[in-house]
Structure 1
């Protein structure tokens, strides 16, 4: 049952990521991947606190949302590929800025989601 839950969540998360990448325009800087990963970090922070009691009773739903949906929605591999492409095109400063911004905003937004979820749990 765990696999099916992850599969369903992953289908929705991956589909939503694709739709978001169509709506959010990229220039040289990969804004869509950055925004998607920051939103995913915020959602993971909330899920780690707000729904914790619910997830204890329903572990398959936890796997569907966290591993499936958020795991497919966010993308470390796209972050890595975007960075390599920036480097290949000679945008060394932009690649560094992208990595630092992605990591820093990821930490900040997971902490914000965690704090927000803690207030309501």
Structure 2
């Protein structure tokens, strides 16, 4: 991996992590049982990944550093499986089984659905001549 790819991933990852942190600060106090910041980060990340997948498919000439900054960097920093896992285990340890099931379903099904929605949104934008 070259220096510019390394730098692109690092800048993207820092930006994504800062956004995730901000979402946690903004949303987690709203409903303490269910950490909405992590859920929002993963759902937003899924949607943006879908958009990025479609956009990058249609714009194959973009430099690899840009592709890495967006996907591996920014979206990798924004989304978080480890925090999702920790929050899920916390709910299990509190014996809040319905909330545990709900958070698992919201993250997993929600993220996949949002990725598909992101692909569809980018296709619609492309058809409309926006991208």
Indicate whether the TM-score tops 0.5.
yes
**CA drift at 1:52:** 2.9
The within-5 A match list for 1:91-102 is 91-102=96-107
Q: Larger relative CO (CA 8 A, sep 6+): 1 or 2? A: 1
What is the rounded CA distance, in whole Å, between the counterparts of 1:70 and 1:95 in structure 2?
25
The within-5 A match list for 1:1-121 is 1-24=4-27, 25=29, 26-121=31-126
**CA drift at 1:48:** 0.4
User: Is the contact made by 1:8 and 1:64 (CA closer than 8 Å) also made in structure 2?
Assistant: yes
What is the rounded CA distance, in whole Å, between the counterparts of 2:116 and 2:24 in structure 1?
24
* C-alpha RMSD over aligned residues: 1.3
Structure 1, unmatched stretches of 5+, are none
TM (normalized to structure 2)?
0.86
Aligned length: 121
Structure 2, unmatched stretches of 5+, are 127-131
**CA drift at 1:31:** 1.2
User: Is the contact made by 1:45 and 1:114 (CA closer than 8 Å) also made in structure 2?
Assistant: yes
Q: What's the secondary structure of 1:57's corresponding residue? A: coil
TM (normalized to structure 1)?
0.93
Identify if the C-alpha distance between structure 1 residues 87 and 50 changes in structure 2 by more than 3 Å, giving closer, same or farther.
same
Quick check: which has more Rg, 1 or 2? 2
